[in-house]
């Protein structure tokens, strides 16, 4: 099937959204936790969290246009911090439920039965079951003028990775951590590690380093 720019314009909006949301592939699955200045908690599922460079260590995510109240956005503006929590396989239905439009005074930790965890020195709530938890401080944001979406940029303050899925060279094995991926806005996938390869160089082929690591880590 081939869809041109013109075809896309004439598709029913739900079908178009599904196609566009899915066509760039499986994306990361995270819950973003925040609080407002009164420490009212909020938690929401996001599929747009992305690596933005390691030095300084930055993470970004995309927020839909601010045409309606966005609790995650408002809270980040109030308190400057947010947590990013990888969604493990056994939490995907509860995580999905956080996308419902709960009221400001309702915490998705309670409404969606997701256990929370707090770390010393961080005001934001984390998802207890997540095997990768990241604390971020708000740095800046960029308006995407073409469609009104906003890219939020945070600086990593802390990363907590479950011991079961990280090796001595700090390689994270998402298969071992039961990480999942998201297709579009409604489909959840498990992940399987195919291989891990050595750094690619022009004068020699990359080699597999996964086999050895599989048995040692
Ligand atoms: C699978 C999935 C992925 C989502 N990813 C995003 C996203 O990347 N950006 C966004 O603004 N909303 C995303 N949403 C929608 C938010 O989860 C939803 O708007 C939520 O109610 C926001 O909560 P808040 O107002 O408490 O911040 C996603 C929803 C689902 C189901």
77-133 pLDDT tens trace: 999 999 999 999 999 999 999 999 999 999 999 999 999 999 999 999 999 999 999
**70-75 average pLDDT score:** 98
Which pLDDT score, from 0 to 100, does residue 215 have? 57
**22-34 average pLDDT score:** 97
Residue with tokens 């971020």: 136
Q: Please report, for the domain that includes residue 133, its CATH number.
A: 2.30.110.10
What's the gap in Å between 213 CA and the centre of ligand 1? 36
Ligand 1: residue whose CA is nearest its atom 10: 63
Q: Is the pLDDT of residue 208 over 70?
A: yes
pLDDT one-digit tens code per residue, 30-58: 999 999 999 999 999 999 999 999 999 99
Mutating to test ligand 1, I would choose from 64, 143, 144, 150 the residue with most ligand atoms within 8 A of its C-beta, which is 64
Which pLDDT score, from 0 to 100, does residue 212 have? 64
Mutating to test ligand 1, I would choose from 44, 110, 183 the residue with most ligand atoms within 8 A of its C-beta, which is 44
What's the gap in Å between 21 CA and the centre of ligand 1? 13
**Between 156 and 214, the higher pLDDT residue:** 156
Residue 29 lies in domain: 5-216
On average, the pLDDT of the chain sits at: 96
Strands (DSSP E) along 92-209, which ranges? 116-117, 126-127, 132-143, 150-161, 180-183, 187-190
What's the gap in Å between 101 CA and the centre of ligand 1? 10
What's the gap in Å between 40 CA and the centre of ligand 1? 18
Q: Is the pLDDT of residue 190 over 80?
A: yes
Number of domains in the chain: 1
Ligand 1: residue whose CA is nearest its atom 31: 185
Ligand 1 atom having least distance to the Cα of 108: 26
Query: Where is average pLDDT lowest: 105-109, 143-147, 149-153, 210-214?
Result: 210-214
Mutating to test ligand 1, I would choose from 26, 99, 152, 181 the residue with most ligand atoms within 8 A of its C-beta, which is 99
Distances (CA, A) of 114 to 42, 77, 88, 141, 147: 11, 24, 12, 28, 32
Which pLDDT score, from 0 to 100, does residue 210 have? 83
Distances (CA, A) of 158 to 81, 86, 147: 12, 14, 32
């Amino acid at each position: 099937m081939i869809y041109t720019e013109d075809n896309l314009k004439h598709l029913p909006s739900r079908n178009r959204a599904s196609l566009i949301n899915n066509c760039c592939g499986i994306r990361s699955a995270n819950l973003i936790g925040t609080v407002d200045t009164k420490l009212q908690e909020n938690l929401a599922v996001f599929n747009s969290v992305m690596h933005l460079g390691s030095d300084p260590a930055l993470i970004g995510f995309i927020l839909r246009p601010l045409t309606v109240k966005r609790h995650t956005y408002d809270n980040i503006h109030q308190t400057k911090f947010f947590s990013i929590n990888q969604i493990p396989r056994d939490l995907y239905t509860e995580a999905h439920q956080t996308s419902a439009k709960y009221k400001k005074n309702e915490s998705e930790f309670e409404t969606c039965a997701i256990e929370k965890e707090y770390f010393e020195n961080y005001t934001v709530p984390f998802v207890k079951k997540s095997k990768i938890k990241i604390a971020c401080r708000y740095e800046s944001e960029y308006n995407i003028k073409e469609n009104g979406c906003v890219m939020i940029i945070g600086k990593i303050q802390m990363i907590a990775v479950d011991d079961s899925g990280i090796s001595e060279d700090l390689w994270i094995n998402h298969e071992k951590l039961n990480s999942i991926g998201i297709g579009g806005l409604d489909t959840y996938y498990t992940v399987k590690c195919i291989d891990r390869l050595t750094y690619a160089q022009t004068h020699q082929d990359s080699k597999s380093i996964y086999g050895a690591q599989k048995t040692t880590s």
